[in-house]
Each structure stands twice: as C-alpha cells, then as structure tokens.
Structure 1
C-alpha cells in the first residue's frame, strides 16, 4: 500500500529561455500523517556520459505532511551552463524530480528537455559561442518517466492496531501520475 501518491506535476513556464528558473506545481496525496519531512530535489542531467555533470538545482523539505491532498510550488534556478560540457548544452537532456523519506528515495519523475535555438537558421548552424539570450529549453511535460522504489519505514509502534497502513515496515511507494 502506498502512503504517498503523486497525483500531478504541472510544468509551468514552458517553453522558456534556458536561463529562466524551472517551476513545478506538485500535487500529492498522503494517506497517513507524516510528522517527518519529505525531501524533494530537482536534478539537471548535464551529460549522458557522466553523473559528475549532474546538478542538484535545489532541494526542499516539505512537512510535517497532513493526511489528504497537498500541493506546493517548487521553483529552482536554471542549470549552470558553465558546469555542462559545451557539446552537451544543445539537444536533449533530462530534468529529474525526486522525493525521499528518511534519506530513502522512493520516486523519480524524469522529463526530457530539449535545449535549442528558436531561430531555424541558428538551429541548423549553431553559433560557435553559446548565445544564452536566444537559447530555449522545452520540457516534454506530457510524457514523464516515473520510477518507484519501495522503501522500509516504521510508522507506528509494533503494538499499534490499524487497518494495514500502520503495520511496522509499511512500504512507501508512489502510484502512476494521472496525465
């Protein structure tokens, strides 16, 4: 049984200039009160060849989390282009939203991002020097890739009587998001 279910992530301000912050409106349901925080992160994949270029753009702690539907706006700075190999700035990459509980990641929602110039001539013949004021990012918002990982956690003492949600070692996972 899932304790936290992401029900929707809206990608706001899309497409946008590469230098514009990322904005996500995240909605999730919690079926039992969490007195501890959920940690949310946004990661920008700088290169498909090495994780060393991945950038954690921001992380926030959300909690305590009440039972029911919860929503928040997560705005993070853009990727630092100076930390991305020059040949990986243009083209397709990925931005990932993760959520963890007690330092255990239980969900990853990934979106493909296409970084390109809007001008057709510049797309076909990119300038040698990067023109950030003309570079746009376009997030493929309607096709998220969701990875769920069950984690172990103790929500109630062993003597607790409940309807299954409070059993020691309850699994923490996420159901598919609605489109």
Structure 2
C-alpha cells in the first residue's frame, strides 16, 4: 500500500531561458502519518550516453508528514552548462523529479526537455560555440512519464524477541 500519492505537478515558468531556475508546483496527499521526511530531488540528465554528466539540481526534505493534502513550490537552480558537453546542450534531454522516503525512491516523474535557440537564424545557423544566454528550454509538461516503485513506508521496528529469556531469579 502506498502512503503518498502525487496528485498534480505543474511546471511553472515554461518555456524559459536555459539559465532560469526550474519551478514546479507539487500537490500530494498523505494517507498515513509518516514519522520521517520525504526527500524531493530534481535531476538534470546532461547526456543520454553518460550519466556522469547528470546534475542533481536540488534536494529538499519535507516533513514529518501527517495525513492530509499538501502543496508546495519546488524551485531549483538551472544546470551548470560548464558541466555539460557543448554537443549535448542543444537538443532533447530529460529532467527527473523524484521522491523518496527513508532512502527508498517511490516515485519518479520524467519530463522531456527541448533546448534550442530563441532565434530562428541561430537555429538555422548555429554558432561554433553555444551561446548559452540565447538558449531556451521547453519542458514537455503535458507528457510526463511517471514510474512508481513499491517501498515499505513502515519498516519493521526491532521489538522484543519472540521467546525472551526468563528474568533472573531475585536475590533473597
């Protein structure tokens, strides 16, 4: 049984300049009280061929979480373009929004992101070096890919053994 359901994710400020912060309004419901925080992360995939170019843009802890409906705006800095190969800046990539509980990821929302120049002439005749301040990103917000993972929201706590040893005899 899941304890948390994401009910809506709205991508704010989209399309936007590549160097603008990412903003998501996240709505979710909690069905059972959770004693620990939820960890939300935003990851930018810098290269389809090499995950060493991936950048975790932000990680935030929310909680503890009681039963109810919640909504917050998750903001993250843009990726550092110096950590992305020039040939991977323009084109399509992926942005991953994940949520974990006690180190266990239970949902991942993936978005395709199209990065291209904001000017028709630059699109038709790209300069030899990427002009990052002229790159615009467009998150394909209406087609997220949602993957859910079963996790244990209430790991067993260590309790007394099933056959405890008898107490020692009292001293007389």
TM-score, structure 2 length as denominator? 0.88
Distance of 2:153 and 2:138 partners within structure 1: 37
- 3-state SS of the aligned residue for 1:122? helix
- 3-state SS of the aligned residue for 1:136? strand
Distance of 1:20 and 1:153 partners within structure 2: 35
Deviation at 1:130, TM superposition (A): 1.6
Q: Residue in 1 aligned with 2:162?
A: none
Deviation at 1:155, TM superposition (A): 6.2
Deviation at 1:153, TM superposition (A): 3.6
Q: Is the 8 A contact 2:86 2:129 kept in 1?
A: no
Deviation at 1:137, TM superposition (A): 0.4
Q: Is the 8 A contact 2:3 2:153 kept in 1?
A: no
Q: Residue in 1 aligned with 2:67?
A: 67
Deviation at 1:132, TM superposition (A): 1.8
Distance of 1:72 and 1:65 partners within structure 2: 13
Residue 125 (1) aligns with residue 128 (2): no
Decide which structure has the larger Cα Rg and report it: 2
Q: Is the 8 A contact 2:114 2:137 kept in 1?
A: yes
Q: Residue in 1 aligned with 2:85?
A: 85
- 3-state SS of the aligned residue for 1:60? strand
Distance of 1:157 and 1:125 partners within structure 2: 62
* Runs of 4+ off more than 4 Å: 155-158
Structure 1 gaps of 5+ residues are 159-179
- 3-state SS of the aligned residue for 2:152? strand
Q: Residue in 1 aligned with 2:107?
A: 107
For this pair of structures, how many residues does the alignment match?
159
Q: Relative contact order: is structure 1 or structure 2 higher (C-alpha 8 Å, sep ≥ 6)?
A: 1
Q: Residue in 2 aligned with 1:170?
A: none
| Structure 1 vs Structure 2 CA RMSD | 1.6
Deviation at 1:51, TM superposition (A): 0.7
Q: Deviation per CA, 1:117-168: give whole Å up to 9, x if none.
A: 121111121111221221100000010000111012426879xxxxxxxxxx
Q: Is the 8 A contact 2:33 2:65 kept in 1?
A: yes
